[in-house]
Structure 1
Amino acid sequence: MEHLRTVDDVMTHAVISVDHDTAFKDLVETMRMWNVSALPVLSGEGRVTGVVSEADLLLNGTDPDPDRATTAERLMTHPAVTVTKDATLEAAARLMARRHLKRLPVVDGDGHLTGVVSRGDLLKVYLRPDADIGAEIRELITGRLTPSGSAEVHVHVAGGVAYLYGTLPDPTLEDVVVRAAGTVPGVVDVKADFTVTAPV
């Protein structure tokens, strides 16, 4: 079965954001303090209306006119490029690559900010070593199978694809094992080939 992990699985839920009237110096200080390269700008209702990035500050922060480019509302890029929490990691990665972004605000169906996802968030799941993924699958499956059963499950992971094979005493256990393997971070697909041995 194909297993597609969503943005909600890896995003950061605690997000640093600013409102429209946040001053230039406060934006710079907030980015420095929290070590982020961009800040979502929210309306009074908590909806994402724009994003202020380091590039926005560098390009517009030195405007000689003191009445311009001094607040988040004037500095931000809008409309904001956002992603929903149920979007797949693949979709979020493509959007980031296409728009040359490092971070994406995550919104609900009404545009309210619920989190943020970064390039690092996306990569840390799919760059897990196959050996680590395999070890976690084995540990998880062991906990799902009864010690007294005659199950024998072998796990091989290649390129994030988990190959499960062996023998099971009950045909219903295959679905349990496959589902368990599919929940392990870094697994992109699960292929199973079991022989069912009915009890004598």
Structure 2
Amino acid sequence: MTMTVASVMTITVASVTRDVPFHVVAEKLIATGVGALPVLDPGGVVVGMISEADLLRKEDFKERYYGEYYYPPLRTRLRRRSGARRETSAEGVTAGELMSSPAIVVAADSPVVLAARLMERHGIKRLPVVDDLGRLAGIVTRRDLLKVFLRPDADIAGDAGRHADILQVDALKITVADGVLTLSGSVERRSQADAAARAADRLDGVVAVHSQITWTQDDTAPVTVRTPA
């Protein structure tokens, strides 16, 4: 069974609308203890995310550009395009003007691994979870994703047993201890053993796979073709 985002996400989510002023966003971030808030339109659709970094950018802009002795560092002068984005958002006074948009979101029925990949790809720690219309349905964090690895060993073993066809070999013995799944038994070809180990590693909650499978024929070895002399 593939665990979905809906099974690990938090349903109660603090959020703001576009017109919420700077100081209210700051107060809400502090009060909730989170690092970022979804920004919603009047219909509840996620249009952006506003984070501590977005708010600090405003103060940083004031200090850098209006300080008495400030001189832009070389990297700022060379990256004018990026600097222009920072300057524009730093002048904003509402969530809609300060937010990062568009927001990176994930659907509630997406597999947990997709959420993990999105976070890794974009360097973020949380994702708004949306329904089919893009409306906010929840939030999923890196900590939530760790719940996958807290599945009981019996549940993991049960999944492996119910999906023996996925492992491609029915005669294997499957044991699980502390999330480590061990496969043992004998098969005809080495490729079967390798395929079973790869399939087991994809089961939700599996921390590692130990393969003790033996085989009689190594069909993965390269074949040497001899040409006549």
Which TM-score applies when normalising by structure 1? Answer: 0.65
Is residue 2:144 matched to residue 1:121? Answer: yes
Amino acid at match of 1:90: V
Whichever structure has more helix as a proportion of its residues is 2
Shift of 1:19: 0.5
Structure 2 equivalent of residue 35 of structure 1: 33
Amino acid at match of 1:156: T
Structure 2 equivalent of residue 59 of structure 1: 57
Shift of 1:54: 1.1
SS at match of 2:38: strand
Structure 2 equivalent of residue 157 of structure 1: 176
Cα deviation code 1:138-157 (max 9, x no counterpart): 9xxxxxxxxxxxxxxx9721
**What percent identity do the matched residue pairs reach?**
46
Distance in 1 separating the partners of 2:103 and 2:117: 16
Structure 1 equivalent of residue 79 of structure 2: none
- Is the CA contact (8 Å cut-off) linking 2:3 and 2:148 kept in structure 1? no
Distance in 2 separating the partners of 1:61 and 1:20: 20
Gaps in structure 1 of 5+ consecutive residues = 139-153, 165-184, 189-200
| Rg (Cα) greater in structure | 2
Is residue 2:133 matched to residue 1:89? Answer: no
Distance in 1 separating the partners of 2:126 and 2:156: 30
Q: 1:61 to 1:85 in 2, by over 3 A?
A: farther
Structure 1 equivalent of residue 47 of structure 2: 49
SS at match of 2:176: strand
Cα deviation code 1:154-198 (max 9, x no counterpart): 97215746679xxxxxxxxxxxxxxxxxxxx7369xxxxxxxxxx
Shift of 1:123: 1.4
Shift of 1:106: 0.3
Structure 2 equivalent of residue 133 of structure 1: 152
| Aligned-residue CA RMSD (Å) | 3.2
Shift of 1:29: 0.8
- Is the CA contact (8 Å cut-off) linking 2:156 and 2:205 kept in structure 1? no
Q: 1:137 to 1:81 in 2, by over 3 A?
A: closer
Shift of 1:23: 1.0
Alignment of 1:11-26 (within 5 A): 11-26=9-24
SS at match of 2:30: helix
Large movers: runs of 4+ above 2 Å: 60-65, 134-138, 158-164, 185-188
Amino acid at match of 2:39: V
Gaps in structure 2 of 5+ consecutive residues = 67-89, 158-172, 184-203, 208-229
- Is the CA contact (8 Å cut-off) linking 1:56 and 1:77 kept in structure 2? yes
SS at match of 1:94: helix
Distance in 2 separating the partners of 1:137 and 1:84: 24
SS at match of 2:54: helix
Cα deviation code 1:101-154 (max 9, x no counterpart): 01000001110000000000001322x3xxx7226679xxxxxxxxxxxxxxx9
Amino acid at match of 2:139: V
Q: How many residue pairs are counted as aligned between the two chains? A: 150
Distance in 1 separating the partners of 2:178 and 2:54: 38
SS at match of 1:105: strand
- Is the CA contact (8 Å cut-off) linking 2:156 and 2:206 kept in structure 1? no
- Is the CA contact (8 Å cut-off) linking 1:61 and 1:69 kept in structure 2? no
